[in-house]
Amino acid sequence: MSDITKQSLSELVKNIKNKKLSSTDVTKAFIERSEKSKELNAYITEDFTSALDKAKKFDQKPNLDLKLPGIPMAVKDLFCTKDVKTTAGSKILNNFIPTYESTVTENIWKEGAILLGKLNCDEFAMGSSNETSFFGNVQNPIDKDLVPGGSSGGSASAVAGQLTPITIGTDTGGSIRQPASFTGTVGLKPTYGSCSRYGIVAFASSLDQAGPMAQNVKDCALLQEVISTYDSKDSTSIDFKRNQYSKELTNNIKGKKIGIPKEYRVDGMPKEIEDLWQKGIQYVKDCGAETIDISLPHTSYALPTYYIVAPAEASSNLARYDGVKYGFRAKGENLIDMYEKTRSEGFGAEVQRRIMIGTYVLSSGYYDAYYLKAQKVRKLIKNDFDEVYKKVDAILTPSTPSSAFKIGEKTNDPVSMYLNDIFTVPVNLAGLPGISIPAGHDSKGYPLGLQIIGKAFDEQNILNIAFAMEEKINFKNKITDWWIK
Amino acid sequence: MSIDLKTIKHISKLSRISVDEKRAEKLAGDLNSIFDFIEKLNELKTDNVEPLTSVAETTLKLRSDEVKSKNIREQIIKNSPQDNEDYFVVPKVIE
């Protein structure tokens, strides 16, 4: 039984379809491992009893035509799950039980998967290390006291630690790709409009996207195929022809033109990252693709733009937490006092900081100087990508400027924490798809990722490039199960 | 640019987040370092640039305005921190 959790999603699906394994076998195995892995703090809410019931029910009348037949899966606690507590990592939603299901999770259950539980994340997905969660930080299975990245830190930790065969995260500025890079896993941020935002606790609505986090590219493609649907309940959902990503997956990328942007060679970037990038360039060449030096001149303006746009949208989205209709309420002497105390006690420090930045940049007298300015620069950043995509099919960059750091290392300096997302943020601002794949280790043995950025709606292409590179890289995650006593 | 304590108090009021003196000082420090970093945008001339409001370059689809979830009052009220059967309850606003 013990080797069940070592299997990839694709292997598990095959074994359930061949009746070599039952959903109950698989679900039990992941529950047992999750039970032994409490020290990782990957879960906020466990739903194991109900998961096992659902698995038994599935086995009584298995529908083996489904894409995820009887597969247990834990998901980031930012997705509303009907009748299962959804906290967004915040005290203010500590007791919130949604009355409806997010479209993305609905799609997953429709294909036969079973909810294992809800995974830890930075509060309202605001963070790069999972340290802003009200439910405590998450351990990276790679090493003790190492952050798993964020905001989808619990998701990354759970996939790398094999507590779930696969999962979903959300990515507003890098929250899928950065933790994937920190944990040696694969993470895809789809094109804006590809996956419905309905039922996902909102952070920054013009940037938020849900996406798969997996052990390998093929699994990632399969989950993307399931979660990406047009949804009339999300006004920014886009009705385009979606590929059968896993079926159409190919390692043939001969003749593809891959751009190497010089602006991603940032000051102070460790040599290990530069070396990894060079290796990546060699890998894509070995696969028959051609690399072309390109320029994305406004790259260094992406983070400052993001730290206006995202907090502005967040301050507006989070205005709904007033202690009246749901969530935490503090006692107040009058209505206004109740609002102010509820929000002061209910939100953590990082969330309050971002609400305040957002409120300020939207406030009277500052709107043009900050918010409008940022929207204009956002246009320039998008134009950069539009321009290079006349010449190239995809772009190859490092995923992060460093490997995972220690818990507590960056908590006192918000700007140094924000710099983590320097390579991922431009992709969200331009609404493009990006995938991070594990590509090597640094001298400490920590994983490092490479990012492939695609044209809008061209997920298939970046999945193919990632698939071809994955074969060449032959990455093996170094996980010792140190947390299992 | 510098954000002083008075500005922090003003933003705190607009945000409906109460902030005591000690926190206000910490916040002023944090916000100043973040805005120093944001100021970089002023290097760019953007007078003739159209602001990007949405990356999804599609016109919004219209749909008929129909009620899709019915009889969910109980479910909705259930999540309220304080309710009175059919209503959300808040501290008294009229003397």
Token digits for A51?
């998961």
Q: What percent of chain B has pLDDT over 90?
A: 60
Chain B residues with CB under 8 Å of A236 CB are: 54, 56
Mean pLDDT of all residues belonging to chain B:
89
CATH architecture of B5-43: Orthogonal Bundle (1.10)
d(CA A254, CA A460): 15
Condensed to tens digits (0 to 9), the pLDDT of residues A151-166 reads 999 999 999 999 999 9
| Whether the complex's predicted ipTM surpasses the cut of 0.90 | yes
Q: What is the mean pLDDT of residues A177-182?
A: 98
Q: Is B91 on the interface with A (CB under 8 A)?
A: yes
Secondary structure (3-state) at A290 = strand
Domain ranges of chain B: 5-43
CB A399 within 8 A of CB A184: no
Is B51's CB within 8 Å of A372's CB?
Answer: yes
Which of these, A97, A102, A74, lies nearest to A87 by C-alpha position? A97
d(CA A171, CA A184): 17
Token digits for A84?
């299962």
Chain A residues with CB under 8 Å of B90 CB are: 324, 335, 338
Chain B residues with CB under 8 Å of A414 CB are: 30, 33-34
d(CA A166, CA A164): 5
In this complex, which of B46, B82, B92 lies closest to A377 when CB atoms are compared?
A: B46
In this prediction, residue B61 carries a pLDDT of 81
Q: Is B78 on the interface with A (CB under 8 A)?
A: yes
Measure in Å the smallest separation between the Cα of A300 and chain B Cα atoms: 9
Is B11's CB within 8 Å of A315's CB?
Answer: no
Q: What is the mean pLDDT of residues A129-152?
A: 97
A286-320 burial: b if 16+ Cβ within 10 Å, else e: ebebebeebebebbebbbbbbbbbbbbbbbbbbee
pLDDT band at B94 (very low <50, low <70, confident <90, very high): confident
CA atoms within 13 A on the CB side of A199: 24
Is it the case that residue A456 has pLDDT exceeding 80? yes
| H helical segments located in A67-176 | 103-110, 153-160
Secondary structure (3-state) at A303 = helix
Q: What is the mean pLDDT of residues A434-446?
A: 97
Condensed to tens digits (0 to 9), the pLDDT of residues A201-258 reads 999 999 999 999 999 999 999 999 999 999 999 999 999 999 999 999 999 999 999 9
In which order are the strands placed within the sheet that holds A72-76? A43-46, A114-119, A72-76
| CA A78 vs CA A107, A153, A222, A390, A418: distances in Å | 16, 12, 21, 36, 21
A38 is catalytic: no
A18-23 — which CB contacts under 8 Å span 24+ positions?
Answer: A22/A55, A22/A59, A22/A62, A22/A70, A23/A55, A23/A56, A23/A58, A23/A59, A23/A62, A23/A69, A23/A70, A23/A71, A23/A72, A23/A114
**Chain centroid, CA A181 distance in Å:** 11
Is it the case that residue A2 has pLDDT exceeding 60? no
Q: What is the mean pLDDT of residues A266-293?
A: 95
| Chain A interface test: which of B52, B68, B71 (most A C-beta within 10 Å) | B52
Token digits for A110?
């429709």
- Number of residue pairs across A and B with CB atoms under 8 Å? 161
Q: What's at A194, amino acid-wise?
A: S
Is it the case that residue A302 has pLDDT exceeding 90? yes
In this prediction, residue B73 carries a pLDDT of 86
Is A380's CB within 8 Å of B91's CB?
Answer: no
CB A227 within 8 A of CB A107: yes
d(CA A420, CA A399): 9
Is it the case that residue B1 has pLDDT exceeding 80? no
Among A175, A237, A246, A315, the active-site one is A175
d(CA A257, CA A314): 37
Locate tokens 């999750």: which residue? A34
Is it the case that residue A436 has pLDDT exceeding 50? yes
Give, for A294, the enclosing helix (H) or strand (E).
strand A290-294
Q: Is A266 on the interface with B (CB under 8 A)?
A: no
Q: For the ranges A1-5, A11-15, A395-399, A433-437, which has the lowest average pLDDT?
A: A1-5
In this prediction, residue B82 carries a pLDDT of 84
Condensed to tens digits (0 to 9), the pLDDT of residues A20-40 reads 999 999 999 999 999 999 999
A151 is catalytic: yes
Within B1-95, strands assigned E span: 83-84, 87-88
| CA A181 vs CA A125, A213, A436, A450: distances in Å | 17, 11, 6, 8
Condensed to tens digits (0 to 9), the pLDDT of residues B36-81 reads 999 999 999 999 999 998 887 667 788 888 888 888 888 889 999 9
Q: Is B7 on the interface with A (CB under 8 A)?
A: yes
pLDDT band at A485 (very low <50, low <70, confident <90, very high): confident
Mean pLDDT of all residues belonging to chain A:
96
Is it the case that residue A1 has pLDDT exceeding 50? no
d(CA A50, CA A415): 42
A399 is catalytic: no
CA atoms within 13 A on the CB side of A233: 16
Chain A residues with CB under 8 Å of B16 CB are: 322, 336, 339-340, 343
pLDDT band at A370 (very low <50, low <70, confident <90, very high): very high
Condensed to tens digits (0 to 9), the pLDDT of residues A380-414 reads 999 999 999 999 999 999 999 999 999 999 888 88
Condensed to tens digits (0 to 9), the pLDDT of residues A89-108 reads 999 999 999 999 999 999 99
Is it the case that residue A430 has pLDDT exceeding 50? yes
